[in-house]
Amino acid sequence: MSASIVNRLNQAKKDKKITLAQLSEQSGVSLGTVYKIMSGALKTINPDKLAKLANVLEVDVDYLLKGTKYKTMPYLGLVSIACISPSLRVADCPYNTQQIVKEAQKAYEKGIKIALFPELSITGYSCGDLFFQKALRDAALEGLQYIMQNTSELDMVLAVGMPIICDKGKMYNAAVILHKGNILGVIPKTNLPNYNEFFEKRIFAAPNNENNTIRLFGKDVPFGTRLLFVDDMHTDIRFAVEICEDVWVSDSPSNTHARAGANIVLNLSTSNDTINKGDYRRDMIKMQSGKNNIIYAYCSSGPDESTSDTVCGGHNIICEYGQVLAECKPFTTYYAQAEADVNFIENERAKTPHGALPPGYTTVHFDMQVGSTTRCYNPMPFVPSNPTELAERCESALNILAHGLKKRIAHTNVKTLVIGVSGGTDSTLALCICAKALALLGRPNTDIVSVTMPCFGTTQRTLNNSIALAKALGTTVRKIDITKAVTQHLKDIGHDLKTHDVTYENAQARERTQVLMDIANATNGLVIGTGDMSELALGWATYNGDHMSMYGVNSSVPKTFVKALLNHIAHNSPAEVGKVILDVLDTPVSPELLPPTKQGKINQVTEDLVGPYELHDYFLYMLVRKGFTPQKVYYLAKISFAQKYSHHEIYKWMRKFLWRFFSQQFKRSCTPDGVKLGSVDLSKHGFHIPSDAVSQVWIDQLAKTYEEDCQ
């Protein structure tokens, strides 16, 4: 990490008048790491941590990196949520409300916009028959008023739990939603557990499904199980509430909330801990979030509840569409926070509608400003950062791809698999998949015809690697030099061999495809395509050249994952095979269609021409999988690649991606069969856009975003 970054960090800290301990607490970055960063002891800094520090110091990441102050990011559809299990004393409402206010203020300083506390957090859940005492209920109301008075300046939503008696004399286990000191609504618990250690029906009433009002502190406020809260400043922030047991039953209120339009569900809970219950609880919240396409925030009581019979562990979880964004496991920190992406949920909802809107919902409106994001998405979204998860994903992917090819081989009854091997990453992966598919069928690798076809741009390194790997795998190797054939063809069409243009390049690619097709005819074989999904996204393929085959095994594999798969294969293969694959990975990606340098080196590096594949895979994932706008992808890329690419480079290559992605759709509209591997699928069956769609809207928005960012 450069001294200039350290200097700007420390200057921003000085301007903010904040200590290292406060910077650590407010950013969520450990004090030890903060000290190392601020002292310059770290060689590099994680982009996520830099973004968190920048947010607390109120400066832009680009300022820290480049020394130029840019405008603050606009609202990008992300909202910060915290689940907090504060210190508690059973039945001590003044103490409990003081703790709630204290934690709410700390959360607000961290940028949290929605903070939820456990079930019955004002009184404590384990009061038992004390709930029948008017003194406790009055203290709870006084505590609620204390919270309202002391959070009136906080532009954030608070969800707290307390017993509430309505004007009909019934007592409910309820959640109270607050904003800027005002009560937005009160939600009673629908499902009251009355088994084992739970006896809520003895104390609380079960509500009906009709919304009403309840009078609190001289005002009528919405009361009912079907309240939908909408931020009018950001109408994509819509939340609803359920309480503890409500999520444990088969017909959870959150199922209905989601159909009513809620994209966030808050759950105030008191869930005691037993052996392995935490795993079940986490899986349940993940599933509820995934199947309803919602953000689910679950906040449970901590160990300060009564331990007369059970112990609560303060298990807090925030999930987004089935993925855990944040979790504090039982008996750990009692605090979990995350920036949840309501924009992503909205995009997914557009693809998977939830049917008819349920009746009986009351919409409660409020105005809450939401600032810029610090969420750092994985810069390699197709490649898990966790080694164990990556290994599992690689094995799963190889099985999917090999079994897809196995079925096609069996169905067509071909005698050979014909593949062009170039010594590059794509053909190397395709060759390995061919070998795995034949192993599944119990057939020898000699049924693979590995054809290497050197021409004008082939270097000795790639040629040697292509032959070495094909031999190491025991395939049938054929070397066919196509230089004379391509030279003759170019002469036949009157093309000057000294003109190294697209005709010169594509003639080689199409000659190779013709050779492979003819060998397949001669050997009753199947031509295996080697092009990957990133190349398809960019249209980086010769139409009816390497673009064409009889089955495309790599067509759904992004380039960044191609490399991850090869690395996995290399380290799980015999040394002879692994050595070649590792050298292939170390070779620059190139189509090798232009003559090498005088030193025999590659003279045509793909990423110098179209841009870094890690950026393009990021753009592909964010635009196609997430459905984000160019504006949002640009700003998120600035965070994800904070120390690697400048905002100028991100703009340049993203503009290139958008133009090529639209203009090259005609190639994707007529690609060979190939199995779907992940959630991004550009095949003609999985991605439907017309070949003559215009990219101007996307490019104009990107250009406007870039211009505004640089002002």
Catalytic site residue from 49, 189, 286, 626: 189
Q: Which residues, in sequence order, are CB contacts of 648 under 8 Å at separation 6+? A: none
Q: Show the tokens assigned to 548.
A: 């064409």
CA dihedral 146, 148, 153, 156 (to 10 degrees): 130
Chain centroid, CA 443 distance in Å: 40
CA distances to 288, 292, 351, 363 from 355, rounded to whole Å, are: 17, 12, 12, 19
Catalytic site residue from 244, 299, 319, 434: 244
Hey, CA dihedral for 287, 291, 293, 299, is it positive or negative? negative
Q: Show the tokens assigned to 455.
A: 């021409």
Bridge partners, residue 551, by sequence: 528
The yes-or-no answer on residue 632 being catalytic is no
The yes-or-no answer on residue 244 being catalytic is yes
Let me know: does 271 contact 244? Beta carbons within 8 Å: yes
Q: What is the 3-state secondary structure (H, E, C) of 530-588?
A: CCCHHHHHHCCCCCCCCCCCCEECCCCCCHHHHHHHHHHHHCCCCHHHHHHHHHHHCCC
Let me know: does 330 contact 342? Beta carbons within 8 Å: no
**Angstrom distance (rounded) from CA 31 to CA 200:** 43
Cα angle at 201 between 195 and 204, to 5 degrees? 140
* Radius of gyration of the CA atoms of the chain, in A: 30
The residue written with tokens 């709930």 in the block is 131
Catalytic site residue from 103, 119, 511, 535: 119
**Angstrom distance (rounded) from CA 145 to CA 143:** 5
**Angstrom distance (rounded) from CA 42 to CA 37:** 6
Count helices and strands (H / E) in the chain: 25, 20
**Angstrom distance (rounded) from CA 545 to CA 329:** 54
| Residue 62 CB burial class (10 angstroms; 0-12, 13-18, ≥19) | buried
The yes-or-no answer on residue 189 being catalytic is yes
Catalytic positions are: 119, 189, 244
